[in-house]
Amino acid sequence: MRIAALVLLGAICFLRIPVDLLPQVDLPIVAVRTSWPNTPPQEIETQISRPIEQAVSTVPGIYSVNSSSEFGSSNVRVTLNYGVDVDKAAVDVLQYVQRATRSFPNDPNITPPTVFKFDPNSFPITIYGVTGIEDPIALRTLLVNEIAPVIESTQGVAEVTVTGGRERAIIVNVDPAKLQAFDVTLPEITARIRAENISQPAGITKAGEKEYIIRSSGYFKSIQDAENTPIRTTNGRQILLKDLATIKDEAREQRVFTRVNGENAVGLSITKQREANTIDTVDALKKTIATLEKAYPNLKFRVAYEQAGFIKDSIHNLQEHAIIGGTLAILAILFFLRNARSTLVVALSIPISITSTFALMYFCGFTLNTISLSGLALATGLIVDDAIVVLENIFRHIERDKKSPVDAAVSGTSEIMQAVVASTLTVMVVFLPLFLIQGQSGQIFSQLALVVIFSLAVSLLDAATVVPMLASRTISAREVILLEHPEEQAKSKNVFTRLAGVMGMAFQNLDNSYRNGLVWALKRRWWVVGVSVLLTLAAFPLWDKVGSENLPQTDTGDLNVRVRLPVGTALSTTIDKMEQVEEVLLADPDVDTVFLSVGAGISFRGSVGGAEANSGAANIRLKPERSATTEEVAKRLDEELRPISGIRASSSPFDLVSNIIGGNNQGMQIDLFGTDLKELAAAAEVVKEELSDVTGLEGVDVSVDEATPEISWEVDRQAAQSLGVSFQEIASAINSSTNGTLTTYFQDNGFQYPIYVQIPEAQRESVEDLLNIPVKRNPNTGAQILLKQVAQPEITGGPDEINRLNRRRYISVSGRFSDRTESEIQADVQAKMDKIELPQGITWDFGERQRRKAEEFSGLGLAVVLAVVLIYMLLASQFESFIYPLVVLTTVPLCLIGMVLALFLSDRAFGLTAFIGLLMLVGIVVKNGILLVDYTNRLRGQGMSRDEAILTASPTRLRPILMTSVASVLGMLPIAMATNATNALQAPLATVVIGGLTTSTILTLFVVPVVYTFFDDLARKARKDDRDLAPSTIVEPTPSATGPIEPEPLAPNAP
**Do 332 and 432 share a domain, yes or no?**
yes
Whole-number pLDDT of residue 1026: 47
In a domain, 7, yes or no: no
- Which of these, 20, 266, 32, 31, lies nearest to 121 by C-alpha position? 20
Separation CA 249–CA 242 (nearest Å): 14
In a domain, 897, yes or no: yes
**Do 538 and 417 share a domain, yes or no?**
yes
Whole-number pLDDT of residue 294: 94
In a domain, 162, yes or no: no
Whole-number pLDDT of residue 610: 41
Sign for the pseudo-dihedral over CA of 195, 199, 202, 203: negative
Counted domains in the chain: 4
**Do 55 and 180 share a domain, yes or no?**
no
**Do 40 and 67 share a domain, yes or no?**
yes
- Let me know the angle formed at the C-alpha of 458 by 457 and 464, rounded to the nearest 5 degrees: 95
Whole-number pLDDT of residue 1041: 40
**Would the pLDDT of 606 be above 80?**
no
Separation CA 586–CA 785 (nearest Å): 55
**Do 577 and 544 share a domain, yes or no?**
no
**Average pLDDT value over all residues in the chain:** 84
**Would the pLDDT of 1030 be above 60?**
no
Residue 724's contacts (CB-CB under 8 Å, 6 or more residues apart) are 778, 779, 780
**Do 394 and 529 share a domain, yes or no?**
yes
In a domain, 231, yes or no: yes
**Would the pLDDT of 1031 be above 90?**
no
Point out which residues pair with 833 in neighbouring strands: none
Q: Is 356 left (phi over 0), alpha (psi -120 to 50) or beta?
A: alpha
Average pLDDT over residues 667-686: 89
| Band of pLDDT at residue 604, cut at 50, 70 and 90 | very low
Give, in order, the Cα–Cα distances in Å from 558 to each of 161, 501, 595, 622.
20, 55, 11, 6
Percent of the chain with pLDDT over 90: 24
**Would the pLDDT of 718 be above 80?**
yes
Task: Give the pLDDT confidence of 309-340 residue by residue, as tens digits.
Answer: 888 888 888 888 888 888 898 888 888 877 78
Whole-number pLDDT of residue 403: 83
Average pLDDT over residues 715-736: 82
Give the residue from 798, 813, 834 where a domain finishes. Answer: 798
In a domain, 912, yes or no: yes
Give, in order, the Cα–Cα distances in Å from 794 to each of 711, 715, 791, 802, 1043.
6, 11, 10, 21, 101
Whole-number pLDDT of residue 1: 66
Give the residue from 652, 670, 689 where a domain finishes. Answer: 652
| Band of pLDDT at residue 602, cut at 50, 70 and 90 | very low
Alpha helices in 64-208 (DSSP H): 86-100, 136-142, 148-152, 176-182, 186-196
**Do 46 and 177 share a domain, yes or no?**
no
**Do 749 and 862 share a domain, yes or no?**
no
Q: Which of 176-185, 458-467, 945-954 has the lowest mean pLDDT?
A: 176-185
Separation CA 202–CA 508 (nearest Å): 101
> Do residues 1000 and 929 make contact, with C-beta atoms less than 8 angstroms apart?
no
Whole-number pLDDT of residue 211: 72
Whole-number pLDDT of residue 490: 66
Separation CA 247–CA 220 (nearest Å): 12
**Would the pLDDT of 1024 be above 60?**
no
In a domain, 191, yes or no: yes
- Which of these, 808, 809, 784, lies nearest to 799 by C-alpha position? 809
Whole-number pLDDT of residue 1008: 92
**Would the pLDDT of 1055 be above 50?**
no
Range of the domain at 67: 28-118
Whole-number pLDDT of residue 782: 72
Average pLDDT over residues 189-215: 75
- Let me know the angle formed at the C-alpha of 504 by 500 and 507, rounded to the nearest 5 degrees: 140
**Do 603 and 454 share a domain, yes or no?**
no
Average pLDDT over residues 222-248: 87
Whole-number pLDDT of residue 607: 36
**Do 593 and 444 share a domain, yes or no?**
no
The greatest distance separating any two alpha carbons of the chain, rounded to the nearest whole angstrom, comes to 135
| Band of pLDDT at residue 127, cut at 50, 70 and 90 | very high
Give the residue from 766, 798, 830 where a domain finishes. Answer: 798
What single letter denotes the amino acid at residue 1003? L
**Would the pLDDT of 1034 be above 60?**
no
Whole-number pLDDT of residue 507: 79
In a domain, 499, yes or no: no
Whole-number pLDDT of residue 1029: 39
| Band of pLDDT at residue 794, cut at 50, 70 and 90 | confident
Whole-number pLDDT of residue 120: 66
**Do 57 and 93 share a domain, yes or no?**
yes
Give, in order, the Cα–Cα distances in Å from 444 to each of 55, 367, 511.
32, 12, 43
Average pLDDT over residues 29-46: 88
**Would the pLDDT of 214 be above 70?**
no
Q: Which of 667-681, 919-933, 1012-1026 has the lowest mean pLDDT?
A: 1012-1026
Whole-number pLDDT of residue 1027: 41
Average pLDDT over residues 132-150: 92
| Band of pLDDT at residue 760, cut at 50, 70 and 90 | confident
**Would the pLDDT of 883 be above 90?**
no
Q: How far is CA 934 from the centre of its chain?
A: 43
**E strands within 502-614?**
558-564, 591-598
Regarding beta strands 266-272 and 157-164, do their DSSP bridges make them parallel or antiparallel, or are they unpaired? antiparallel
The alpha-carbon radius of gyration of the chain (Å, integer) is 37
Whole-number pLDDT of residue 481: 65
- Higher-confidence residue: 446 or 1042? 446
**CATH number, domain with residue 643:** 3.30.70.1430
**Would the pLDDT of 621 be above 80?**
yes
**CATH number, domain with residue 781:** 3.30.2090.10
| Band of pLDDT at residue 19, cut at 50, 70 and 90 | confident
Task: Give the pLDDT confidence of 543-568 residue by residue, as tens digits.
Answer: 888 877 777 777 888 888 988 888 77
Whole-number pLDDT of residue 493: 64
**Do 69 and 179 share a domain, yes or no?**
no
Give, in order, the Cα–Cα distances in Å from 333 to each of 217, 341, 490, 930.
84, 11, 20, 21
Q: Read off φ and ψ for residue 823, nearest 5 degrees.
A: -65, -40
**Would the pLDDT of 981 be above 70?**
no
Q: Is 454 left (phi over 0), alpha (psi -120 to 50) or beta?
A: alpha
> Do residues 519 and 1034 make contact, with C-beta atoms less than 8 angstroms apart?
yes
Task: Give the pLDDT confidence of 852-871 residue by residue, as tens digits.
Answer: 777 778 877 888 889 899 99
In a domain, 539, yes or no: yes
Separation CA 482–CA 475 (nearest Å): 12
pTM score: 0.79
| Band of pLDDT at residue 1039, cut at 50, 70 and 90 | very low
3-state DSSP of 122-142: HCCCEEEEEECCCCHHHHHHH
Whole-number pLDDT of residue 208: 67
- Which of these, 813, 793, 790, lies nearest to 803 by C-alpha position? 813
The neighbour count for residue 289, using CB atoms within 10 Å, is 22
Separation CA 626–CA 624 (nearest Å): 6
Task: Give the pLDDT confidence of 821-850 residue by residue, as tens digits.
Answer: 788 888 899 999 998 988 998 999 988 777
Percent of the chain with pLDDT over 70: 90
Q: Which of 769-783, 981-995, 1000-1014 has the lowest mean pLDDT?
A: 769-783
**Would the pLDDT of 142 be above 90?**
yes
Q: How far is CA 76 from the centre of its chain?
A: 22
